[in-house]
């Protein structure tokens, strides 16, 4: 009996029991689709997090102050101290100190109420330097950013985020208009291009002003302290070197060691790894749960093949009486089981593809499917069919022709 005849006979046997075969493949179909979509959702979430963090800036290092300790001995959280200053930013900007650093942008921020005519809006007021635009990879939708001269003279000028501009001026052009921050009037000189949310924070809801203006008019008590220093490496290859240079420069200027450091330096890569670790763990967990349905599907294939062997005992006996060897019988039933598994896998791929196209619009979450995952799912479904068919096929191959013909 040739392979072609074996395949034709297997297809005829499956067609003869359409409903039973369809229900058998359903378990594998659902399992394959569930695993594909679960892994696709996890990969999509990881790429989305990485994309959002990339929006913060290119080749970015973030320097944060350490924790503070109150007079009663209560320690605040990381970032609660005021250990970073504008002098630290100036040190990091020196090519002799940090040759792999491209640009540095110190930043301080606080929440303030902004008023324009009869409209008010509470947002984050950021005090920084002109290099902030480059370091944070921002562009302007209209107007301009403030200059070094305006920083030196502490000019009351402000650049609004897209959300803030919309809330204060609706559809009117904000450039040239006046807004009041606290009790101080500021002239709007630009509007940042829309960026969206990154890591749960709306990057378009802020008002950016010169650092000196911030220290003079908004938060006089802050002095030269800054809440964050953003450092941009020259390129991706220089990120590690820039990290070391930044850390060493601040350790030296602060007169501390790495064990007693009063600041922390984090890179984009470490942020991405931290942000995606939870989603990766959850993806593995959900994929494992979804894989259980594949096990159920395999049991279903084994069950249908055992029933098929029982129903076709006379057929098996007749074939053996006509000269069919146990190997031919074994191959026949293994082929049927493999076809059931393969059919479930192919239909599962189709269902997974449809789900990947439809789900993002329903749950606002990207689904990333890979050709490698699809091919692996297809191979797994075929293996499930083969493995599930081994016992029933072996049982059929061991039947005695005489016993089979006398069974009814």
Phi, psi of 261 (to 5 degrees): -60, 135
What digits encode the pLDDT tens for the residues 248-261?
Answer: 999 999 999 988 88
Question: What's residue 272's pLDDT?
Answer: 60
Sign of CA dihedral 274, 280, 286, 288: negative
Query: Three-state DSSP class for 178?
Result: strand
Polymer length of the chain: 408
For range 233-240, the mean pLDDT: 86
Question: What's residue 275's pLDDT?
Answer: 60
Half-sphere exposure at residue 359, Cβ-oriented, CA atoms within 13 angstroms: 19
With a cut of 50, say whether residue 164 has pLDDT above it: yes
Question: What's residue 69's pLDDT?
Answer: 42
Q: What is the pTM of this model?
A: 0.61
Position 77 confidence tier, pLDDT thresholds 50, 70, 90:
very low
With a cut of 70, say whether residue 165 has pLDDT above it: yes
Q: Which of 391, 393, 407 has the alpha carbon at shortest distance from 329?
A: 393
With a cut of 70, say whether residue 192 has pLDDT above it: yes
Where residue 302 falls (left for φ over 0; alpha for ψ -120 to 50; beta otherwise) is: alpha
For range 396-408, the mean pLDDT: 65
Position 186 confidence tier, pLDDT thresholds 50, 70, 90:
very high
Distance CA 113, CA 118 (A): 13
With a cut of 60, say whether residue 204 has pLDDT above it: yes
Position 317 confidence tier, pLDDT thresholds 50, 70, 90:
confident
Distance CA 388, CA 20 (A): 16
Angle, to 10 degrees, between the axis of helix 268-311 and the axis of helix 371-397?
Answer: 30
Question: What's residue 211's pLDDT?
Answer: 95
Q: Which of 294, 215, 282, 311 has the alpha carbon at shortest distance from 28?
A: 294
What digits encode the pLDDT tens for the residues 51-60?
Answer: 666 666 568 8
What digits encode the pLDDT tens for the residues 318-333?
Answer: 777 777 777 887 888 7
Question: What's residue 268's pLDDT?
Answer: 67
């Amino acid at each position: 009996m040739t392979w072609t005849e074996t395949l034709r006979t297997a297809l005829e046997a499956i067609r003869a029991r359409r409903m039973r075969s369809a229900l058998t493949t359903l378990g594998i179909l659902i399992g394959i689709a569930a695993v594909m979509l679960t892994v696709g959702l996890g990969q999509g979430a990881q790429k989305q997090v990485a994309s959002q963090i990339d929006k913060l800036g290119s080749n970015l290092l973030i320097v944060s102050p350490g924790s503070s300790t109150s007079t009663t001995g209560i320690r605040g959280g990381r970032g609660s101290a005021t250990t970073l200053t504008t002098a630290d930013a100036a040190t990091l900007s020196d090519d002799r100190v940090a040759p792999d650093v491209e640009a540095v942008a110190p930043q301080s921020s606080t929440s303030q109420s902004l008023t324009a005519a009869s409209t008010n809006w509470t947002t984050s007021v950021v005090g920084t330097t002109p290099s902030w635009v480059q370091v944070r990879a921002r562009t302007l939708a209209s107007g301009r950013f403030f200059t070094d001269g305006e920083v030196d003279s502490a000019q009351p000028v402000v650049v609004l985020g897209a959300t803030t501009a919309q809330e204060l001026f609706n559809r009117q052009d904000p450039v040239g208009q006046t807004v009041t921050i606290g009790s101080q009037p500021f002239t709007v000189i630009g509007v940042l291009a829309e960026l969206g949310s990154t890591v749960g924070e709306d990057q378009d809801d802020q008002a950016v002003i010169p650092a000196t203006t911030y220290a003079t008019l908004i938060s006089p008590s802050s002095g030269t302290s800054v809440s964050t220093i953003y450092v941009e490496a020259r390129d991706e290859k220089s990120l590690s070197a820039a990290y070391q240079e930044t850390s060493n420069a601040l350790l030296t200027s602060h007169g501390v060691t790495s064990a007693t450091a009063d600041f922390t330096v984090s890179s984009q890569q470490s942020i991405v790894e931290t942000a995606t670790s939870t989603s990766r763990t959850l993806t593995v967990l959900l994929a494992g749960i979804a894989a259980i349905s594949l096990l159920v599907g395999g049991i279903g294939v084994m069950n249908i093949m055992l029933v098929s062997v029982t129903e076709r005992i006379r057929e098996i006996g007749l074939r053996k009486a006509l000269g069919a060897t146990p190997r031919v019988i074994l191959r026949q039933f293994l082929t049927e089981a493999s076809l059931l598994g393969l059919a479930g896998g192919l239909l599962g791929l189709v269902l997974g593809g449809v789900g990947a196209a439809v789900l993002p619009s329903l749950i606002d979450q990207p689904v990333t499917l890979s050709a490698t995952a699809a091919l692996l799912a297809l191979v797994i479904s075929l293996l499930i069919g083969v493995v599930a068919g081994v016992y029933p096929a072996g049982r059929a191959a061991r039947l005695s022709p005489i016993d089979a013909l006398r069974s009814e």
